[in-house]
Amino acid sequence: MTMKTNLSRRAFLSASTAAVSTGLVAFPHLAIAKSKAISSTTSLFGAPPPGVAKLNANENPYGPSPKAIIAMTEAISKGAYYVGGAGETLKAMIAERHGLTKNHIILSSGSSSALTNLAMMASQKGSILGSDLFWDATSFMGTRNSEHGIKRTPKTDDLSVDLDAMYFAVDGSIALAQICNPNNPTGSIVSPQKLQEFCKKVSQKTMVLVDEAYNEITDEPEENSMIPLIKDGYNVVVTRTFSKIYGLAGMRVGYMIAAPETAQLISTYGHNHFYDLNQAGVAAAVASYNDTAFLNYSKSKILEAREMIATAVAANGLTALPSQTSFMFVNLGDINAEDFRQGMAKENVMIRGVYQDYTHWSRVSVGKLPDVEKYIAAMPKVLDSLS
């Protein structure tokens, strides 16, 4: 091995150490590629270039947790192999927390993969019912090649999920009733008692899916979860993800919880985790699943930033829906949300534009405090320019 053509051991070790302490990759040639990418507007890793506040995808920029970074650094050296026992370990950890068995758990590439598989399965039988506005990307994907599509209940004045309207809309054409709780992009939550009642009644008629991607960020995560209904035998399925509070969106790990026979059926629409997941993502999920110090820290920062946004929204004479998530849905009054998005982008603040016909509602994700400060500083300027 010559020093000219090969990486020296010292260079490799110092790169690995840097990887652990910064969360960067362990190989210098990739680090160089990253530094080149930073000078352009797009980054090699999807992370924002310096100076840009990325507040558009509900990621947790405090992640990954230090424990996850160490686990991933070790796991990448095993990247030649498919995911093995760590997948079973992760299933066992999830099952244990909820008093379920491993057969209740489907591991998934993010929660998207399992959600899409379920949508595909449902769309063979009928339509998917949702509220007017919910996180519907996987329902679209799953119904794409089906004669059935998505049916929606009408918008309510306060943009909440209308459980009564959904209940009355369930007829023989509905194969799946889907609730996102808390909802995305509105950020609001329905009362756990009402949702339990809804799930119990509706699951007698059709399968109910509750997407709990933001559950851990709510004030009462346990009370808000519908997972206990699965244990009680109701035809309810719940999804969770490592992409949000766990700060692992780019590592693609999520899971679905269902009765074992339902889980088995849904699994026939996709790969098992052996093919669907990656070694580093599973290692990170195992390492951070019970990392309460990291989770509590992230949550406290998310709530702090959310409060800052709420205060700024009010200071600008606007309102936002009450949020139980890592984002807020802001009513811009007369201003179009896409115009606002473009104006904020010029200030290096990335947020979301229009959703469906919600033309004056703008979603902003909670980021690190300096990024939120950037949003707050740019807001009056952009609003003024559009008034």
Site residues for ligand PLP per CB under 6 A: 58, 110-112, 135, 180, 184, 211, 213, 241, 243, 249, 254
| Phi, psi dihedral angles at 350 (to 5 degrees) | -95, 120
Shortest distance, position 232 Cβ to ligand PLP, whole Å: 24
* 238 vs 320, beta carbon nearer ligand PLP: 238
- Give CA–CA dist 277/87, Å, rounded: 9
Residue with smaller CB distance to ligand PLP, 133 or 378: 133
Neighbours of 141 (CB within 10 A): 16
107-140 burial, b at 16+ Cβ within 10 Å, e below that, comes to bbbbbbbbbbbbbbbbbeebbbbbbbbbbbebbe
Cis bond upstream, residue 182 (ω within 30)? yes
Contacts of 219 (CB under 8 A, 6+ apart): 324
3-state DSSP call for residue 154? coil
When the beta carbons of 112 and 235 are compared against ligand PLP, the nearer one is 112
The residue among 162 and 211 lying less far from ligand PLP, judged by its C-beta, is: 211
What pairs with residue 81 in β-bridges? none
Report the nearest approach of ligand PLP to the CB of residue 185 (Å): 8
Q: Please answer whether residues 276 and 109 qualify as being in contact, where contact means their C-beta atoms are separated by less than 8 angstroms.
A: yes
Q: Taking a C-beta distance cutoff of 8 angstroms, is the pair 361, 329 a contact?
A: yes
Least gap, CB of 221 to ligand PLP (angstroms): 15
Q: Which is nearer to ligand PLP, 148 or 252 (CB)?
A: 252
In the complex, minimum distance from the CB of residue 330 to ligand PLP, in angstroms, rounded to a whole number: 17
Find the shortest distance in angstroms from Cβ 135 to ligand PLP: 4
* Cβ 112 to ligand PLP shortest distance, Å: 3
Residue nearest to ligand PLP (CB): 110
For ligand PLP, the closer CB: 100 or 180:
180
Query: What would the two tokens of residue 330 be?
Result: 């802001």
